[in-house]
Amino acid sequence: GGDPGPRHATSSQPAASRPAASDAAALAALTPSDRNRAVDFYRAAAMAVVAVGHWLGMVVVIDQGELDGGNLLDFAPEYGWITWIGQVMPLFFFVGGFASATSLRSAERKGMSPADWTATRLRRMVTPAVALAGFWAVALLIGAVVGGFGLVAVGAIGAAIPLWFLANYTIDTALAPFTFRWFRARPLLVVGGLVAIFSVAEAARFAGISKVPQINWVIGWLGFQVAGFAWQDGRLPVGRKLAALAATFWVLAVAAVNLGPWPAVMLHHGGLDHSPTHPPTTALILFGLAYSFTAAALAPRVNRWLERSAKAWEVTIAANAVAMSVYLWHMTAAVAVVALAYAADLLPGTEPGTGPWWWIKIPFLALNALLLAAVVKRVAPIEQRALLGGSVRWRWGTASMLVAAAVLSASLKSWSTPNATVLVAGITVTIAIWAALLADRPVRSARR
């Protein structure tokens, strides 16, 4: 969803003359001196952490001859402390806010409308997801023909686990032109409004009201994006003051889970009275801001390292060029490896979280990585063409753009619903919206 490395440096060039997204050395040479390289590094690192974290936490068991899956924390909650390292999604929304603010400033200079900007960003985000949707649509069709639709549907639902992020990020992207403008005009009012709405919804959760808290699916993650706006807009403190702010939020996060009603874990799993992420809780917000402000405080050092090390910067650029492909396909790779192991009767029967279970994880992780690398090599060009594509002109007004984004978000979210009919509908709607509204509509010289 953010900008993939130094594309800002090349955005004024004709598309045909720009280096390919995979040409890391050429892109590195074009990086402007004032670019915040740490944003790109954090984005790529977050994607890698998510993929490895999902693989490590994935549990597959055979229950009465049937495949069943779950989360490691369902079986071994004592590993919850790892989530204080591996819960990187607040950081991703934070750096996404920084990137969106940078892009919106550029769009304003070019006279690009909010709807055009949003459509262009969604095209870059959703095009790689449509490739995933197409793959699973074909797999489901084949499964239906050969009588294995139910099993394939289970795989498709498992592979869709990462899509909750894309669903939320779609909403944040559609709102970004407005929230960024409002934030620059009235920063305290925007932050205060978000805190007030979030607090009311959080109170409703503890009052046993089921519907009202769901708004925090939007407000919670939007808050991290707005924090990213503040970073890009120079409204965060710097140096030791920023480090002190981060430390303050770490103290508040620790206090919240020790003195408040929230669990200490920062990832959702079964058996929790109050899930930290379904929707985001106060504890997750405090933790996420602590994590994000720590990253911002370390950014000057990360930037100096990436400026000194040409190789590290080239690797960062190369990783960003395939980041969405890695994110979208890493669970599909894991599902495929599990399917092969199941067919070969090689699934482990050890207790999740035990020493033998961790040892058996090693070859599975290696196979996941090898298969994912092969898949990414094939699908990454789709992502890279979308990243370097031109602007999209939205011809139907701002309101229709917001409606389309909401429907698209709902369709992406529905993939992971444990219902085959909803799954098929979600895949179909995602492909249909992309094909009808976002595909093959570049205007490369528009509004220049």
Average of pLDDT values for 225-243? Answer: 97
Q: What is the pTM of this model?
A: 0.90
416 pLDDT higher than 90: no
- CA torsion sign for 11, 103, 394, 446 is negative
Banded model confidence at residue 20, pLDDT cuts 50, 70, 90? low
CA distances from 106 to 109, 113, 285 (A): 5, 11, 29
Banded model confidence at residue 440, pLDDT cuts 50, 70, 90? low
In degrees to the nearest 10, what's the CA dihedral of 187, 191, 196, 197? 110
Whole-angstrom distance, CA of residue 53 vs CA of residue 58? 8
Whole-angstrom distance, CA of residue 339 vs CA of residue 446? 47
pLDDT of residue 21: 52
Of 31-40, 143-152, 179-188, 384-393, the one with minimum mean pLDDT is 384-393
146 pLDDT higher than 60: yes
Closest CA relative to residue 438, chosen from 123, 61, 169: 123
Q: What is the chain's percent helix, strand, coil content, to nearest 5?
A: 75, 5, 25
Average of pLDDT values for 123-141? Answer: 93
Structure tokens at 88: 């990187």
For residues 104 and 52, the answer to whether their CB atoms sit within 8 Å is no
pLDDT tens string 307-333: 999 999 999 999 999 999 999 999 999
Closest CA relative to residue 40, chosen from 12, 4, 90: 4
Average of pLDDT values for 205-209? Answer: 91
Banded model confidence at residue 224, pLDDT cuts 50, 70, 90? very high
First-to-last C-alpha distance (Å) of the chain: 23
Which backbone phi and psi does 214 adopt, to 5 degrees? -65, -20
Of 30-34, 142-146, 264-268, the one with minimum mean pLDDT is 30-34
Write down the mean pLDDT value for the chain.
89
pLDDT of residue 444: 42
pLDDT of residue 447: 40
Whole-angstrom distance, CA of residue 414 vs CA of residue 426? 5
Average of pLDDT values for 293-320? Answer: 96
pLDDT tens string 249-287: 999 999 999 999 999 999 998 878 888 999 999 999 999
pLDDT of residue 138: 95
Banded model confidence at residue 192, pLDDT cuts 50, 70, 90? very high
For residues 174 and 118, the answer to whether their CB atoms sit within 8 Å is yes
CA distances from 86 to 51, 266, 267, 291, 402 (A): 10, 9, 9, 11, 32
pLDDT of residue 344: 85
Banded model confidence at residue 117, pLDDT cuts 50, 70, 90? very high
Which backbone phi and psi does 244 adopt, to 5 degrees? -65, -40
DSSP state of 404: H
Closest CA relative to residue 437, chosen from 193, 234, 174, 182: 174
Give the number of C-alpha atoms closer than 13 A to the C-alpha of residue 281, restricted to the C-beta side.
23
Taking only Cα atoms into account, the Rg of the chain, rounded to an integer number of angstroms, comes to: 22
Whole-angstrom distance, CA of residue 64 vs CA of residue 178? 53
245 pLDDT higher than 70: yes
Please indicate whether residue 1 or residue 368 has the higher confidence score (pLDDT). 368
- Spell out the alpha helix ranges (H) of 275-354: 282-308, 310-321, 323-343
Of 155-169, 222-236, 285-299, the one with minimum mean pLDDT is 155-169
pLDDT of residue 79: 94
For residues 332 and 375, the answer to whether their CB atoms sit within 8 Å is yes
8 pLDDT higher than 50: no
Average of pLDDT values for 405-425? Answer: 88
